[in-house]
Chains A and B, each alone.
Chain A
Amino acid sequence: MTMVDDAEEPVESIEDAADESADEPETDGGVRAYTVRLELVDEPGELLRALAPIADNGGNLLSIHHERGNITPRGHIPVEVDLECPPDRFDGIVDALRDAGVNVIQAGAEHYGEEVSVVLVGQLVETDLSDTLSRIEDEVDAVVIDLSLAAPEGTEGVASARIRLAIDSGRADAALGAIRSIGSDKELTVVEPLLGGETA
């Protein structure tokens, strides 16, 4: 989070100023993001049936990662759902999913709890960007949430890509280490975020 520059804002009272701690997690008006990992039977309508309890219980769907190509050992399809809701409603959503017969594998902010952005620089196209991304998802155990590409020299030249990743809480250092080694394999420059301290 950015630093709070106290000088910029008129301070109304000492109590107010004391409450404004830069260390407080940002709650966006009381809503938090969660990831729920489900296993669905490969039947028509299953996905829709699984999503209904989320909306019905005050959750707001952010994204759905539907891994059709992957089948779990039990022959089910893993689905990852990102949603946001007030923290006190999250348990209700998970309960409602289970009541509806949906198999909830993992729920809560613990899984994929962190987001990090990295910038990759180099011959991104020539080194097969989509392979780079799949390697990151496989080897880092991360989900690519967002990708921005800038190739001012055209696809033949040096390009930059900003990749936003969702990773497990507490695994950022390991994930960045793995991205570093993929980068060095492919001779790409990896610009990592600075974690730690009060600047990450």
Chain B
Amino acid sequence: MKLAILGAGAVGRSVADLAGEYGHDVVALADSKSAVADDAGIDVERALERKAGGEPVGSGAPEDVFETDYDALVEATPTTLDDAKPGFSHARRALEADRHVVLANKGPVAERYDELRALESDSAGSVRFEATVGGAIPVLSTIEDETPQAVTAVRGVLNGTANFILTRMAAEGLDYEHVLAEAQDLGVAEADPTFDVDGTDAALKFVILSNVLADGGFSLSDAAVDGIQNVPGSALDLAAEDGRTIRLIGEATREGVRVGPRLVPENGALAVSGTRNIVQIETRHAGSLHSSGRGAGGPETATAVLSDVGRLE
């Protein structure tokens, strides 16, 4: 497949880097300011070198991406809330041109799922978004295999930063501010960790899951969201006395979306450590399935994008 990649952050760059290994050609790569495009395939290595050196990725404008002979648009620009622009506009433009769209950007499927599906049904192209939920963990494809109707709920940990902070607080008896600073030093938490610790990032992923289970109808404003900022070390200590711990847990069902700090058994499946993510898919006929792994990171998320591309063929 010929891929046009919008967004040259960690995920976009990794998709470009790994595409060849998965048997695909990259015909365009753009960041917010410039693009490199060539129907015969761009020189990925050179483009990534330019990006790493702080130069423009190419001499073209980002818009040029849409003029190439691409089969699938990889939308890996930063997630935005509400109108989910420009990610949503990019996806619309590709679908209107009867091309496929593979999203790493959560915005369009969390905030405007129904509109996106409507555009898809009028298009010869289709939309896939495995990378938006749980990074490398195959969550949506598992639900697709089980069929969404046979899945009653999805629960789990889908934010590595919050999980890292809670794990360290419990293990070291340190308070929230201290562990957050440590996480920032380690690069586990961003300079502005708001969306990770207030539950927004996890909520977007569980909203996407509810949309998949219920075939639409949800956006972030429908989710009940609490973060971990108000969880002190003493709460983790009390939980531990009872053989439990606290994790930022999300729940997606057809009825709604909820994210908040919850008590879980200390040695239970959902009490993963560090930045690890886990989902528990509750099925009608097959009990619960658990998948755990890396929920973020450039190459990890890129594998989910490229798996989606593979399913389009």
Contact = CB atoms under 8 A, between A and B. Distances in A.
A150 B265 contact: no
Best-buried of B241, B249, B263, B265 by chain A (most CB within 10 Å): B263
A196 B153 contact: yes
A67 to B, nearest CB: 26
A159 B268 CA distance: 26
B234 A193 contact: no
A158 B229 CA distance: 13
Given A3-B268, A196-B155, A197-B155, A160 B287 contact: no
A191 interface: yes
Best-buried of A158, A164, A189 by chain B (most CB within 10 Å): A189
Interface in B190-245: 226, 230-235, 237-239, 241-242, 244
A104 interface: no
Given A119-B263, A191-B262, A194-B264, A161 B238 contact: yes
B288 to A, nearest CB: 5
B280 interface: yes
B59 interface: no
Interface string B255-266: 000001111111
Given A193-B263, A197-B280, A119 B235 contact: yes
B233 A2 contact: no
Contacts of B231: 121, 189, 191
A32 interface: no
A199 interface: yes
A121 B263 CA distance: 13
B282 A197 contact: yes
Nearest to A194: B262
Given A162-B241, A189-B226, A194-B270, A151 B263 contact: no
Interface in B137-184: 153, 155
Nearest to A158: B232
Contacts of B263: 117-119, 191-194
A123 to B, nearest CB: 11
A119 B153 contact: no
A162 B268 contact: no
A2 B244 CA distance: 10
A152 B287 contact: no
Q: Is the interface of A mostly helix, strand, loop or mixed?
A: strand
A18 interface: no
Given A119-B246, A194-B249, A199 B270 contact: yes
A122 B246 CA distance: 16
Interface in A117-165: 117-119, 121-122, 148, 150-152, 158-162, 164
B237 A199 contact: no
Contact of B235 (A1, A121, A193, A199): A121
Interface string B269-313: 110000000001010000110000000000000000000000000
A75 to B, nearest CB: 40
Contacts of B267: 2-3
Nearest to B244: A117
A12 interface: no
A198 interface: yes
B265 A1 contact: yes
B238 A119 contact: yes
A162 B282 contact: no
Contacts of A118: 263
Contacts of A151: 234
A193 to B, nearest CB: 4
B153 A197 contact: yes
Interchain residue pairs A-B with the least CB separation, the first 5 = A150-B234, A162-B238, A160-B235, A160-B234, A193-B263
Interface of B: 153, 155, 226, 230-235, 237-239, 241-242, 244, 246, 249, 251, 260-270, 280, 282, 287-288
Interface of A: 1-3, 117-119, 121-122, 148, 150-152, 158-162, 164, 189, 191-194, 196-199
